[in-house]
């Protein structure tokens, strides 16, 4: 295995529901998660309907940081590790997320504590106490790479979709403003502004004594000549 410690631990796990039991090959072991997650597609494969879920008050974030999600509900299912000769079975509470994911389920710290898992993350292995001795569960770095690559592409597509929706809002707002009539900027000037205002220190000069209406205005300090 190249670059030990650079891969997520992805293992096989059997999940037993009232109608079906399935082996899921993309089970993510994540000790940094405070919840166990069952994705909607996995719920459908197990034959579980939303009406069977219990109410959940949990809010968590999905693949893209900043995008929060409220679960559809919560459900308790049996999870099994090991072989027919030596296996461990525990009831696990899952938050059902209506999110796209490259994984089938995510087992966080509650499941790790329930199974008393000892995780060797750098070597993609974990040990679980079993009735016939320790159960060793191994991951596959190639599968981890595939899930990581699929998760990156999914995150990129979600970011692009979010940016496109934001851009559509901006374009729609700009188009609405272009269609709206522009406010009139013309204002009627007052008579005081349009009529000529003579300076205070001025005097009237009659230009033609025969026509008193013809006159000029000059500064008061100037000679009448």
Structural domain includes residue 86? yes
Q: What pLDDT was estimated at residue 159?
A: 47
Q: What percent of the chain has pLDDT over 70?
A: 64
Structural domain includes residue 180? no
Rg over CA atoms, the chain: 39
The answer to whether the CB of 124 falls within 8 A of the CB of 12 is no
- Tell me the per-residue pLDDT of 65-121, one tens digit each, with 9 for 90 and over: 455 678 899 999 999 999 999 999 999 999 998 888 889 999 999 999 999 999 998
- List the single range of 11-20, 28-37, 99-108, 151-160 with lowest mean pLDDT: 151-160
The more confident residue out of 192 and 8 is 8
Structural domain includes residue 192? no
Provide the 10 A C-beta neighbour count for residue 11.
21
Q: How many domains would you assign to the chain?
A: 1
Provide the 10 A C-beta neighbour count for residue 36.
23
Structural domain includes residue 168? no
The answer to whether the CB of 128 falls within 8 A of the CB of 88 is yes
Structural domain includes residue 111? yes
Q: Round to whole Å and give the CA distance between 105 and 26.
A: 7
Domain hosting 112: range is 9-159
Residue 129 clears pLDDT 90, i.e. is over it: yes
The more confident residue out of 27 and 212 is 27
Q: What pLDDT was estimated at residue 158?
A: 45
Instruction: Identify the CATH number of the domain in which residue 84 sits.
Output: 2.40.70.10
Residue 40 parent element (H or E): helix 40-45
What average pLDDT does the chain have?
79
Q: Round to whole Å and give the CA distance between 158 and 154.
A: 6
List the structure tokens of 122. Answer: 């750098």
Q: Whole-model pTM above 0.75?
A: no
Structural domain includes residue 201? no
Q: Round to whole Å and give the CA distance between 155 and 148.
A: 10
Structural domain includes residue 152? yes
Structural domain includes residue 138? yes
- Tell me the per-residue pLDDT of 36-65, one tens digit each, with 9 for 90 and over: 999 999 999 999 999 999 998 887 765 554
- Give me the numbers of helices (H) and strands (E) for the chain, helices first please: 4, 13
């Amino acid at each position: 295995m190249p670059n030990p410690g650079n891969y997520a631990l992805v293992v096989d796990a059997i999940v037993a529901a009232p109608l079906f039991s399935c082996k899921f090959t993309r089970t993510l072991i994540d000790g940094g998660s405070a919840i166990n997650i069952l994705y909607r597609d996995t719920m459908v494969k197990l034959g579980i309907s939303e009406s069977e879920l219990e109410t959940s008050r949990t809010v968590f974030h999905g693949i893209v940081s900043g995008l929060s999600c409220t679960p559809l509900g919560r459900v308790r299912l049996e999870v099994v590790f090991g072989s027919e000769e030596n296996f461990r079975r525990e009831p696990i509470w899952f938050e059902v997320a209506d999110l796209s994911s490259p994984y089938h389920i995510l087992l966080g710290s509650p499941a790790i504590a329930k199974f008393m898992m000892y995780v060797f993350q750098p070597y993609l292995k974990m040990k679980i106490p079993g009735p016939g001795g320790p159960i060793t569960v191994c991951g596959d770095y190639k599968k981890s790479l595939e899930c990581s690559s699929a998760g990156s592409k999914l995150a990129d597509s979600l970011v692009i979709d979010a940016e496109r929706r934001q851009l559509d809002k901006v374009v729609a707002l700009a188009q609405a403003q272009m269609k709206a009539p522009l406010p009139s900027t013309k204002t009627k000037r007052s008579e005081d502004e349009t009529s000529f205002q003579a300076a205070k220190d001025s005097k009237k000069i009659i230009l033609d004594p025969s026509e008193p209406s013809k006159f000029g205005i000059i500064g008061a300090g100037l000679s009448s000549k």
